[in-house]
Each structure stands twice: as structure tokens, then as C-alpha cells.
Structure 1
């Protein structure tokens, strides 16, 4: 009886600790993605305040995505050396405080420089979160936590863009940045309080090593190369990166399209298109059970079909068709992202943070490259050109999905006996 009581208490404490970890990283995720995507909702205000063209204002998102992508690899190495907890907490606080200088900026190049630095800080949580979950949670709980975490990413993206649109309509630049600073500080404080003092397996392992091995980066390079040599991992990285390259930048250019004639939407009305992300938020929550039931490959194919249909629907160029099209595309995109995330996390048996960071590096590099890529089509043929460029990307994704299925079938074939 006493043993059962002790066991129940230990289980209850573990459940509370697991819940605190999930909630803390989800709230931190809201801070990260609101800070990342709020600027996307503020593109019209940025263009007006800094006196640059609407197309050039999209560089604010591209430069942040670029440094975020490269910094993911650094955080993977750092977290494998000093643990998961400290890098997340420190980077979150510095990120929140870095919003204060934005209040006083009036030069576009300076804005790009600060956002470039913020991209480095934004990378910590995405690089570490999935590895943190896998080390601290049981496999069943980990899949659920991953689904909830990706849902929080989606909610943060929606809220950030809508907040940006609302503030660009109601506030001037200084007031908007001050509000962002206050919100970030409060949410980081809550996340820091909730984040439990978990036993850090990585930190314990590293303390046993001599300093010569701790400073030896050949192990880190070998860890990255281990995953890059895996053909299935490479395909997952490419699928996620190209999908995001298309999706996030479609949302940037559809705002410009909706603010022009014949729609003539206001700044805030144009950001309401980001509510279409809600289909992805809902889908990502259920993706964990869909993966367990059907596997990743059928979901890749379904999501690709949804993105094809959704993109083509927008060519009818009515408000209704555009909204339905983006609902379809967003659903397909988030199912793809969830499948890639879980595939990488579950396939990586070692150097887990490096595996996740390589995926997210490709993911955010896609966002950075996608802006200039689709901008060429936008300048040449407007929204129809953007869809044309997107169809090329979707065709490339289809090839990679087929190739992933082929690779998986090859590994399942029995080897001939000599």
C-alpha cells in the first residue's frame, strides 16, 4: 500500500512537471512567433514610416528569417554542451529587452540591422524545444507535446500578424514597439516561472568529459554530417524548407494584393487573411494521432494536394475564393510541417538538437529565400505570377515526397541472402 502511494505521488509529480514544461515552452513559443511575425502584419506601416516601397518592406521578414536559420545550428551545438534550460531562458530575456531600441529607430537600414540581431535570439527555442521534449517526456507524451507546441507556433503566428495589423492601423511606430516590448517582458516572465528545473541529461554527460573534449568541435560537425548523410532526413529538410518558402511569402504578397484595387482593403483588413492560419492550427493539433494511425507519407500526399488546390483557387480572384484557398493551403502547410517535425525528431537517435536545428535551418532559409524569389514573379505578373512561382515549388515538393516514399520502400525490402 505504501509503495502504491509513493508511486502515485511520483507519477503525479512527473505529470505536473511535464505539464509545466509543455506550458512554459508553448508560452515561450508565443513570444518567439509574435516577435517574428508581428512585422509581417505591420508591412504597410513600415513602408510608410521608413519611406520605402511595399515590396522592399518585406525584407524585414527575410533578414530575420535568414539569421534565425543560421543561428539554429549554433544553438544546437550550445545546447548539447551546456544543456537545454539556460540557452532558452537567457535568449528569451535578451529578445524581450531588444524590443526597446526599436522604439527610437527611424532609419530602415538600422531596423534591418536590429531585426537581423533579433533573428539570432529568436532561434533558441525552435532549435532546442523538440530535443528538450524528447529527453524529458515519454514517447506518447512527446508526440502530444509536439502537436501542442506546433499549435502554439501557429497561434503565435496568427496573433502576431493580427496584432501587427491592428497596431499599424491604430498606433504609430513608437507606440506599437512599446506595446511589443511590454507584452514580451510579461510573457517571458511567465514562461521563466513555469519552466521546471528538469534534470538535464546533456549537461550531466558533458560534465564527465575532459575540457579537451568539451572544446572539440569535430564531434559537433560529425553530428551534423550524420544527419545530412541520411537521405530520408535530407528529403524531410527539403520538403519542409520549400513548403515554408512558398507559404509564408504568399501571405506577404496577398496583403499587397488585397490592399490594391479592386479590393482596397485597409491595413488591418488585409491582416485578417492571417485568420486562415486557423485551419492549420486545428490540423496541427490532430496531426499526432493521424501520424500514429496512417503514417507520415499519406499525410504528405494529402497536404500537397491541399496546397495545390488552395493555391489555384486564389486565381479566381474573389474575396471568397482567396479565403477558401488560403484555408486549404494553410491546412496542408501545417500538416506538412508537423509531419516533418515529428519525422526528424523520431528518426534522430543521437545528436537530436542538431537534427531538429538542421530541419529548422532549411525551414527558415526557405522563408528568407522565398521573399526575393516570389518578388520576381510579383513584379512581372502580380498575384498570378506569385501563384505561378508557387506551382513550380509545389511540383518540386511532389518529386521529393515521391522520392521519400521510394526510399522508405527500399529500406523495407528484404536483403537477398548470398
Structure 2
């Protein structure tokens, strides 16, 4: 009895270490991804480029991240989940050394493009890693906690960048990012369990390169042919397309009259992500109790309400509106992640990577799309553009609900 109890405690300890390790890895990833968003004015000044050009350092990273997710899905199905995560994180830490010494904007863009490739490993693999290593009763809790860590990393990264751009030089800022990343990666490496259950998929039994490639493509096609999966990919991509770019344009609005906030003060709007952090944490219980479809509909209503509230155009209304919108978005994102992770019984990393590819492509496309509305009518125009995206989101949720999925716990 004591041996069995000790084994159970040991197993729970490993599961807990895995959750903590991947959540910390997520925070490291999103700090490195979004720190530059708070540093765009400093980047423009240091490298002598326009503000519009400086945004390339974020867009190229997001773009390469989106497509690199597919590569890591294949790689991790071949070699396991652990090695790609550890190797990519250490290379990411080393790449920050290059940022300290870069002297040209072109070199900066190239390094950030490479970093996009390195940043993709953790988000591509994490949910599949959880599904394979954790007991079923841990899975939804782990997924919700992981999404919460994503939110915290995004908040801290942007505020960290804004604070550094106000008080430090470019070299000092990148040196500090390197130190923070190095410490985080070292702790993740220490926490990650050394043993893992290897992915059990058909392609591992093939030896011919053509056969392996065929099975890799087949793995992606399995999920793309699933109409429910496709709808969830669309839901997550459209939701992020709207939400993350709303946060970008509201900063421009808050820095103009009548608010005239400073650059760093305007970035404080990202603290509204905290409502999404809290919602992500609670989402596991809600998915079990209500099912994903009910939560998708509730989240949609939150995003509509939050977006419309900002038209009141007072500071309190904008903050309240973004708190509500962030809650709705992160509830949507948590439901999408849980749905994909649980429904994918094979080629799990490929399912997750397809979802996140759609997710980050949505973010990349949303900027140019909402820019058209901003140029025509500034913030009210962005609200109109957002409502058009929400209409598309409503249609996708409606089609998903037609299948009477009361779901992810029943998949």
C-alpha cells in the first residue's frame, strides 16, 4: 500500500512539474515575442527608421512563428516532445545576445525572423505534451493554467518593453531580456521531467522518407478534413485577429486628444489582459459544467458588449470594455485549446499547430484589415471593423453548435 501511495505521489509530482515547467516556458516565450511591442518608439529612434517600419520586428516574428508551428508538430511526433522544447529555448536565449550587438535594422529584422522559428516550439508542442503525459483529470486544469500563463507572459512582456524603452538604452534593454530569458530557460530545463511517453503514431513505424512525408501530410489532413476542427480553427483565428489588434489601435487612440497619454501610460491598457487571465483559470471548471458551445456563445456576447462599450469614449468605459473583451477572448481561446487537445486522438501536435497557425495568422492579418478602418474613422472605424469580424465569429459558432456538441468532455 505504501509503495503504491508513494508511486502515486511521485507521479503527481512529475505531472505538477510538467505543468509548472511548460507554463514558465510559455511566459518566457511571450515575453520574448511581445517585449518589442512596447519598445517600438525606441527601436525607431535607435535604428533611425519610421514608426511604421519598426512594427516589422513584431510582424515578421509572428509570421514565421505561425508557419514554424507546423514544422515542430512534425518534428515532435518524430523525436518526442522534450528535446525540441529544451533545444529551442536555449537557442532562443543565445539569440538575444545577437540583439545586444546588432547595429542595423535589417539585421534586427533577420534575427527576429529567426526568433519566430525558435519561439514556435513551446506553443506547438505544449498541449500535445499535456495530453500524453497527464492524467485525464489533470488535462483541463493544465490547459487552463497554461492559457493563463500565456496571458501573464503577454502582459509582462509588453509592460516590460515599455518600461525599458523609457529608462534604458537598446543595448541595456536587450541585455536585461537576455538575463531574464536565460534564468527562465534554466528553470524550465530543471523542472521538465526527463522521462516522457513517446508519441504513438503510425509514421514512427515507417522507414522510407516518402512514406514518412506522406504520413505527416496525412496527419494534417485528418484534422483539416474534420469540419468541427476547421470551425474551431476559424473561431480562434478570428477572435485573435480582432482582440490583439484592438489593443494596438486603442493605444494610438489613448495617446491622442483628449487623453494624451504617454507611451508607457498607454501600454497600461494591457493590464486588462488580467481579466482574461482570471477567466482562463476558471475555464476548465466551466467547460466541464456547461460544455464548450455554451461558453463560445457567452464569450461572443462578452466581446460584442466590450467592443460596443468603448464607443462611449471615456477612459473608464474603454477600460471596462477591454476588461470584458479580454475575458471573452481568453474564454474562447481556452475552449479552443481544450477542444483541439481532447478531440485529437492521433497526431496531437499537428492538431495544436494547425489551430495556433490559424491563431497567429489571424493576428498578422488583423492589423492591415483594421488599419483600413482606422484610417477612415480612427477608433469608431476600428469598432465597425471589429463588429464585422464578430459577425464572422458568430457564423462559425452557429455552424459548430448545429452538431449539438456539448462537448469537449464527451469527445
Q: Normalising by the residue count of structure 1, what TM-score does the alignment of the two structures yield?
A: 0.94
3-state DSSP class of the match of 1:211? coil
Question: Could you tell me which residue of structure 2 aligns to residue 280 of structure 1?
Answer: 276
Indicate if the aligned counterparts of 1:306 and 1:328 stay in contact, CA closer than 8 A: yes
2 CA distance for matches of 1:217 and 1:190?
Answer: 35
The farther-off stretch of 65-74 and 103-112 is 103-112
Segments of 5+ residues of structure 1 without an aligned counterpart are 412-418
Q: Does 1:78 align with 2:75?
A: yes
Q: Does 1:67 align with 2:35?
A: no
Segments of 5+ residues of structure 2 without an aligned counterpart are none
- CA deviations 1:97-147 (Å, max 9, x no partner) are 111111223433332222111111110000000000000011110111111
Residues 113 and 377 of structure 1: CA distance in aligned 2, closer, same or farther (over 3 Å): farther
Question: Could you tell me which residue of structure 2 aligns to residue 198 of structure 1?
Answer: 195
> Which of these residues, 221, 240, 243, is aligned with residue 239 of structure 2?
243
Q: Does 1:374 align with 2:374?
A: no
> Which of these residues, 3, 8, 23, is aligned with residue 6 of structure 1?
3
Q: Does 1:348 align with 2:349?
A: no
Residues 290 and 159 of structure 1: CA distance in aligned 2, closer, same or farther (over 3 Å): same
Residues 56 and 389 of structure 1: CA distance in aligned 2, closer, same or farther (over 3 Å): farther
3-state DSSP class of the match of 2:402? helix
Indicate if the aligned counterparts of 1:59 and 1:371 stay in contact, CA closer than 8 A: no
What is the total number of aligned residue pairs between the two structures?
Answer: 407
3-state DSSP class of the match of 2:99? helix
Question: Could you tell me which residue of structure 2 aligns to residue 416 of structure 1?
Answer: none
Indicate if the aligned counterparts of 1:100 and 1:178 stay in contact, CA closer than 8 A: yes
3-state DSSP class of the match of 2:208? helix
Deviation at 1:172, TM superposition (A): 1.6
Q: Does 1:219 align with 2:199?
A: no
- CA deviations 1:153-211 (Å, max 9, x no partner) are 1110111111011111111211111110111011100000110112332289877x353
Question: Could you tell me which residue of structure 2 aligns to residue 414 of structure 1?
Answer: none
List structure 1 runs of 4+ shifted beyond 4 angstroms. Answer: 203-207
Q: Does 1:117 align with 2:107?
A: no
Task: Give the 5 Å matches for 1:156-175.
Answer: 156-175=153-172
- CA deviations 1:12-62 (Å, max 9, x no partner) are 110111111111111111100111111112222223333334344333222
Residues 256 and 44 of structure 1: CA distance in aligned 2, closer, same or farther (over 3 Å): farther
Q: Does 1:334 align with 2:330?
A: yes
Question: Could you tell me which residue of structure 2 aligns to residue 291 of structure 1?
Answer: 287
Q: Does 1:131 align with 2:142?
A: no
- CA deviations 1:304-355 (Å, max 9, x no partner) are 1111111111122221111111101100000000000001111111111111
- CA deviations 1:368-411 (Å, max 9, x no partner) are 11112122222222122221211111111011000100133699
Question: Could you tell me which residue of structure 2 aligns to residue 234 of structure 1?
Answer: 230
2 CA distance for matches of 1:362 and 1:139?
Answer: 26
Indicate if the aligned counterparts of 2:61 and 2:112 stay in contact, CA closer than 8 A: yes
1 CA distance for matches of 2:280 and 2:226?
Answer: 26
Question: Could you tell me which residue of structure 2 aligns to residue 300 of structure 1?
Answer: 296
The two structures, once aligned, show a CA RMSD in angstroms of 1.8
2 CA distance for matches of 1:214 and 1:20?
Answer: 38
Question: Could you tell me which residue of structure 2 aligns to residue 358 of structure 1?
Answer: 354
> Which of these residues, 393, 399, 402, is aligned with residue 397 of structure 1?
393
Residues 296 and 262 of structure 1: CA distance in aligned 2, closer, same or farther (over 3 Å): same
Residues 180 and 45 of structure 1: CA distance in aligned 2, closer, same or farther (over 3 Å): same
Deviation at 1:213, TM superposition (A): 6.2
Residues 393 and 41 of structure 1: CA distance in aligned 2, closer, same or farther (over 3 Å): same
Deviation at 1:236, TM superposition (A): 0.1
The farther-off stretch of 305-314 and 375-384 is 375-384
Question: Could you tell me which residue of structure 1 aligns to residue 182 of structure 2?
Answer: 185
Task: Give the 5 Å matches for 1:7-46.
Answer: 7-46=4-43
1 CA distance for matches of 2:135 and 2:200?
Answer: 19
